[in-house]
Structure 1
C-alpha cells in the first residue's frame, strides 16, 4: 500500500492532519491575542462566586430551630433524620412562605401527611417523632419528598435526639 500525494483526498487528509498537529503543538498561534471590546463584558457561564461551603453537622431539634430564616439567614429543615439546606428556596421556606412553619424544624410528619398545620410539628423539647402510626401511603409520600429535596437541595446534616448530640 502506498501513499500517493497526487490524489486530492490524500492531500486534503495530510493538510488536515498537519493543521490538527499544529493546533496541538502551538495552540496560542491560532488564537487571537486581544479580545474585542464588545466581548469583554458579555455573558459567561462561570458563576459570580462559589456558593458557601457547608459542613455536614449533627443537629438536634433545639440546634436546628435557629435556622428558620428569621434568626439566621440559612434555612434548614429535616425529614426523617436528614437535614436539608433549603436556603435557595427562601420564597417557599422563609418567613411568609407557604412552608415557613417547617423552617428550622423536623418536617417529617407534615410532609408525610401533606399538611402544613402547626400540629404536624413536634415541639423542639420533645423526643423526635417516631412516625410509627403513618400509613404505607404516607411513608411513600415522605420518601417522595426526601427524593425531591435530595435532588434539589444540599444535605447538610442529620437530626438526632436533643440529648444525643
Structure 2
C-alpha cells in the first residue's frame, strides 16, 4: 500500500505552506524600492567599488613618450618588451621607483630582461633608435620571450612601442 498524503498531519501542512510561500516569492517578488542604495554589506562585502579603476587605452608610444610613465609621484608605470607596452602599475613594489626592476620603468626593458641584467647599460637612451636586439644569443632570446609571456599573463597590454619619428 502506497503512503498517502495527509493534510491533517502538522508536518505536511507546514511543508505545504512553506512551498506555497516560496512559490509566491518567486512568482510575485517585492516591488518596493529601498529607501537608499546599499553600498556595503555588514560582513564587509562592498556593493559599489570605492573608486573605479583607471581606464587603460591602447596607445602607440615612442621611447620619449614612454619615459614619463616611470611611477614617480604615484603615477602609472609602463615598460616595453619586444615592442609591446605593459602597464605594470600593479607591481609598483618591483617596477616603481626604488624597486628591484625600477630602472626599466618607462623604458624598453627587452635587452635587460633577455640578459637578466638590471644595469643601466642595458637601456637604450630614449633619444636613440630602438634596440634591434640583433646580437642576442638564442638562450637570451628565449629568456626574453619567457619574460614577455610572464608579463602578458599578468599585466595589461596597453600599447605598442615604435621609433621616435614614427608618430
TM-score (norm 1): 0.77
Q: CA deviation at 1:96?
A: 0.7
Query: 2:65 matched to which residue of 1?
Result: 63
Structure 1 residues 22, 97: closer, same or farther in 2, change over 3 A?
Answer: same
Aligned residues: CA RMSD: 3.0
Matches within 5 A, 1:47-58: 47-58=49-60
Secondary structure at 2:26 match in 1: helix
Are residues 1:117 and 2:119 paired?
Answer: yes
Structure 1 residue runs of 5 or longer lacking an equivalent are: none
Q: CA deviation at 1:128?
A: 0.7
Q: Residues of 1 paired with 2:42 and 2:19: CA distance?
A: 35
Q: CA deviation at 1:19?
A: 6.2
Aligned pairs, number: 152
Matches within 5 A, 1:102-141: 102-141=104-143
Structure 2 residue runs of 5 or longer lacking an equivalent are: 7-11
Quick check: 64-73 or 78-87, which moved more?
A: 64-73
Whether the 8 Å contact between 1:76 and 1:87 is mirrored in structure 2 is yes
